[in-house]
Amino acid sequence: MSASSESCEQLVADLEEASRLPKRGRAYKNWCQISNCDHKVVSWKFNEWDYGKNNIKLPINARGLFIVDSRDHPRIAARGYDKFFNINEVNFTSWEWLTSNTLGPFEITVKENGCIIFISGLQDGTLLVCSKHSTGARDDIDRNHSVAGEKFLECQLKTKGIDPKTLALALYNENVTAVAEYCDDSFEEHILEYTKEAAGLYLHGMNFNTREFRTLPISEVCDFATKYGFKKVDYLTKHDISSLRKFLEQCADVGSYKGKEIEGFVVRCKLADGSAFFFKFKYEEPYLMYRQWREATKKYIETKSRVFSFKKHRFITNKYLDFAIPLLDADRKLCDDYMRDFGIIKLRKLFLLDYGLTGLEILNSDKIIKLEAQNAIDYETIDENTKFLFFPIATIGCGKTTTALTLQNLYPETWGHVQNDDITGRDKSMLMKKSLELLSHDGVKAVIVDRNNHQFRERKQLFEWFAELKEKYVSYDSNVKIIALSFLPHEDLEETAKLTINRVMARGDRHQSIKVKTDGEKKVLGIMKGFLNRYQPVVLSREPDNLFDLVINLNVREADSSLINAQEILGVLHKHYPVLVPEVPSNIQIQAAFDKSLLYEPKITKVVGGGRVYDNKNLKYKPVYFSAQIDDTKAFLSLLSEMCTQQESSLDLSPFRTAMEESRMLPNLHITLSHVITGKKGSKRQKDMWCEFNKRYGKAMFKPKTSVDSLPPKRILTNDKVRFRLKKLLWNDKIITAMAELADECVIDGNTGEPVPHLGCANDYAHITLALLQPHIKPFYSNTLCQIIDEEHNFNEGTFIDGTSCLVFKSSPDMEADVSIIL
């Protein structure tokens, strides 16, 4: 056995060992069938976040690695670069580290903007063309980069009159992988433009197929490119790091190279031990701005919302959307093409032409820089577009709700009122979401965000929610003023406490969370004193209180303080914001609005400290999860069995057949749509989805108080449906599960037949657990199996070395399930 074979054999052993790791440093393998031959290669990859970590030692740092599938004579068939990083992205790409540890010459190559393609050859002259982690045909993707790259290469060689076998043998004999960037807007648009003349395979590296990273000088790479018809990358050389840094930073100042927009540069040099070392210097602009335009456009096409969360380029992105949205609304094909990554650059160029500036001119425009700094809003101007949020700062019994209702009664069309005690879900930010949603309505000028906000952290929380959520609900050019209603600014808290306690005792049960008759005076006194002890008055010299646009100080110690405070608020607003209160209403009008507020009866009862949530008549159950329930299990399994029979596959389906014959299939088949655990601890999307399900089916979870002590049902069936198809059947010795394909908004309203907005499947992998083959296995293991097959095998069909199998259904009928609430 040769030394290289021994080295590769040890590499494979190390990779196999790494594939058994639970998390950090884990290797993932996938078998790939090479196009037009019987050979297979194994693709190995790692999680992106494992590269470059001091505490993780990977078997190899290659980003893209393919090994000939041979137990006796493994050989690296194609090898990518060792993962390299941007300046200051990791500690060993800081300028200080580079100055001390790298040696020139420094070869600087332009970083092209496409998809990476690896090209190598096998011993029999077979040409191997790979994308980053796969090669050959695949059923699980709609755009195959390796196949597209291979077709382009074939045309390229044909134009040069070169037999593909000649290139393959040249690469095999030199034991190298040619590394190219496939840039072709007719196949896939990225950010930077590649016209038909500029499209092609840009050869930028030739790596030796060895475990250690070794690569040819860029001059030899360019010679090879000329010989075989590749496009050459532009490059230059600097001999010391100071001149290198000066050159890179000068290019960054102007944002281009030779007058052309580029993504950045890759720098190739050596370490003191002679080993190859790469790092990159990426331009932030105009790449970042163009990418934001692309993402904002796709989001608009998907949601018809022009809301975005970008912190930079807000002004110009909104100008871009002003131009793009009418075109998108008028042309469905433009939208469809854009979502398939076509027409992105054309739409951008049309906007720039209309705006009269290039991307670089926009970035260097003093006027636009100033507008961006203002976020396109003049915060000093108060006009008809200005809206207002009011944050009370109070404790229980201060009359904040009565005051708020008095103001709303005066302006029922233009003022809104959202009470925190009316919000029963687990999403605390729902208070701000509902407030901003109400503020977004045409004609609504002001909303009172009714919560005590008696501590700094609560006020800070409101400001943070506002900053995060504002543009999801309110137009970007709306100036929102936030005003504090300080009910307890300077009073003697002890005297105020006596007054507010007497008020609360007098009103009995007429409050959402403080029920004197129901809870008893002792409990109510404890709750109120807790609020008073924690109370933190407004301090304008510190955050978050210095963020208020205005603070209105109120007094709660008068007999009719809510009436007096409403009058005070109106007077101050008329003085400071006459656009909101052009005239102060008469005393008769204010008195009438106040009298009406006293008739208010709360509809929701909230139990302070947790527990069940009641309205005046009902008890609300807490759901464990929401599911799409298969109504007829027998018919579903019969259909699934028929689909397996019709599928042309060499897989051994006996585990599935045996489970069917032995009646081991689970009786309760369903797709979990949203679970309480992910609702509490999952991603933002999963938490939001949980809230949306609770909001949709909140009323269905109430039952009469007369049966509070009876056992709750295990399941509540709703009128809504879920439509789905079956994609794959997965199994191993532990479990059998079917993967489902759902629309993003897959829940169908049972009355209208239309999709319900924001309701879908919160799981990363929509699935139906069919059978548990071992006694200790829980249904949740289906998620783990889906993840294993995804990460290790890219959902390719086959039976793999770890015993997992995947059957891919070529077609599936549309199916329907009932949305159920599981308690």
Classify burial at 248, counting beta carbons within 10 Å of its beta carbon; exposed 0-12, middle 13-18, buried 19 or more: buried
CATH of 620-822, one of 3.30.70, 3.90.320, 3.90.1740, 3.30.160: 3.90.1740
Task: Flag whether pLDDT at 254 surpasses 60.
Answer: yes
Distance CA 204, CA 234 (A): 9
Q: Which of the four pLDDT bands, split at 50, 70 and 90, describes residue 102?
A: very high
Q: Which of the four pLDDT bands, split at 50, 70 and 90, describes residue 702?
A: confident
Distance CA 178, CA 120 (A): 6
Task: Flag whether pLDDT at 679 surpasses 80.
Answer: yes
CB 138: neighbour CB atoms within 10 A?
19
Reduced to 3 states (helix: H, G, I; strand: E, B; else coil), residue 667 is: coil
What are the Cα distances from residue 114, in Å, to 118, 206, 586, 633?
13, 18, 69, 48
CB 492: neighbour CB atoms within 10 A?
10
> Residues 441-444: contacts with CB within 8 Å, 24+ apart?
441/416, 443/413, 443/414, 444/387, 444/414, 444/415, 444/416
In this structure, what are the phi and psi dihedrals at residue 190, rounded to the nearest 5 degrees?
Answer: -110, -125
* Per-residue model confidence as pLDDT tens digits over 40-52: 888 998 988 888 8
Beta-ladder partners of 201: 182
pLDDT at residue number 648 = 73
Task: Flag whether pLDDT at 440 surpasses 60.
Answer: yes
* Per-residue model confidence as pLDDT tens digits over 632-655: 888 898 888 888 888 777 788 888
Q: Which of 371, 263, 367 is nearest to 312 (CA)?
A: 371
Reduced to 3 states (helix: H, G, I; strand: E, B; else coil), residue 615 is: strand
Spatial CB neighbours of 401, under 8 Å, sequence gap ≥ 6: 419, 450, 600
Task: Flag whether pLDDT at 99 surpasses 80.
Answer: yes
Task: Flag whether pLDDT at 408 surpasses 70.
Answer: yes
Task: Flag whether pLDDT at 242 surpasses 80.
Answer: yes
β pairing state of 264-271 and 102-110: antiparallel
Reduced to 3 states (helix: H, G, I; strand: E, B; else coil), residue 13 is: helix
| Among 126-140, 360-374, 550-564, the range of highest mean pLDDT | 550-564
Among all residues, which ones are annotated catalytic?
Answer: 111
Domain ranges of the chain: 3-253+263-269, 287-373, 387-614, 620-822
Distance CA 420, CA 443 (A): 23
Helices (H), 662-810: 676-681, 684-697, 781-793
Mean pLDDT of the chain: 83
Q: Which of the four pLDDT bands, split at 50, 70 and 90, describes residue 614?
A: very low
pLDDT at residue number 179 = 96
The residue type at 786: C
β pairing state of 446-450 and 235-238: unpaired
Task: Flag whether pLDDT at 611 surpasses 60.
Answer: no
What are the Cα distances from residue 338, in Å, to 112, 162, 327?
22, 36, 12
β pairing state of 40-46 and 27-33: antiparallel
* Per-residue model confidence as pLDDT tens digits over 191-239: 778 888 888 999 999 999 999 999 999 999 999 999 999 999 999 999 9
Task: Flag whether pLDDT at 38 surpasses 80.
Answer: no
Task: Flag whether pLDDT at 532 surpasses 60.
Answer: yes
Distance CA 749, CA 732 (A): 37
Q: Which of the four pLDDT bands, split at 50, 70 and 90, describes residue 406?
A: very high
**With helix as H, strand as E and coil as C, how does 225-268 read?**
HHHHCCEECCEEEECCHHHHHHHHHHHHHHCCECCECCCEEEEE
Task: Flag whether pLDDT at 723 surpasses 50.
Answer: yes
User: Locate tokens 């006293």: which residue?
Assistant: 598
- The enclosing H or E element of 635 equals helix 633-646
Domain 387-614 fold is Rossmann fold (3.40.50)
Q: Which of the four pLDDT bands, split at 50, 70 and 90, describes residue 4?
A: low
The mean pLDDT value for 229-254 works out to 90
pLDDT at residue number 148 = 86
* Per-residue model confidence as pLDDT tens digits over 728-738: 999 888 899 99
* Per-residue model confidence as pLDDT tens digits over 465-506: 887 788 678 776 678 899 999 987 655 555 665 565 555 555
- Are the beta carbons of 40 and 34 closer than 8 angstroms? yes
Reduced to 3 states (helix: H, G, I; strand: E, B; else coil), residue 659 is: helix
Task: Flag whether pLDDT at 608 surpasses 80.
Answer: no
User: 667 preceded by cis ω (within 30°)?
Assistant: no
Distance CA 9, CA 801 (A): 18
Query: What's the CATH class of domain 3-253+263-269?
Result: alpha beta
**Residue that wins the pLDDT comparison between 26 and 260:** 26
The DSSP line for 114-170 is: SEEEEEEE-TTS-EEEE-SS--S--SS-S--HHHHHHHHHHHHHHHHT--HHHHHHH
Task: Flag whether pLDDT at 167 surpasses 90.
Answer: yes
* Per-residue model confidence as pLDDT tens digits over 768-782: 999 988 877 888 888
**Residue that wins the pLDDT comparison between 379 and 761:** 761
Reduced to 3 states (helix: H, G, I; strand: E, B; else coil), residue 562 is: helix
**Residue that wins the pLDDT comparison between 307 and 793:** 793
